[in-house]
Amino acid sequence: MDWNNVKAPSLADFERLADEAFARLPEDFRARCEGLVIRVEDFPDEEIAAEMGLESPFDLLGLYQGISHVERSVLEPVHMPDMVFLYRRPMLDYWAEFDETLDHLIAHVLVHEVGHHMGLSDEDMHAIEEAARDDS
pLDDT tens digits for range 2-25? 878 888 999 999 999 999 999 999
pLDDT in the model for residue 42 = 98
Contacts of 120 (CB under 8 A, 6+ apart): 128
CA 28 to chain CA centroid, Å, is: 17
Phi, psi of 34 (to 5 degrees): -50, 130
Q: What is the pTM of this model?
A: 0.86
Q: Which amino acid, 88?
A: R
Sorting pLDDT into bands at 50, 70 and 90, what band is 66? confident
Give the integer Cα–Cα distance in Å for 89 and 24. Answer: 23
pLDDT in the model for residue 114 = 87
Q: Which amino acid, 114?
A: V
Exposed e or buried b per residue across 102-124, where buried means at least 16 C-beta atoms within 10 angstroms of its C-beta = bbebbbbbbbbbbbebbebeeee
pLDDT in the model for residue 68 = 62
CA 53 to chain CA centroid, Å, is: 20
Give the integer Cα–Cα distance in Å for 22 and 48. Answer: 24
Domain boundaries, the chain: 6-135
- The CATH number corresponding to 6-135 among 3.30.70.100, 3.30.2010.20, 2.40.50.100, 3.40.50.10490 equals 3.30.2010.20
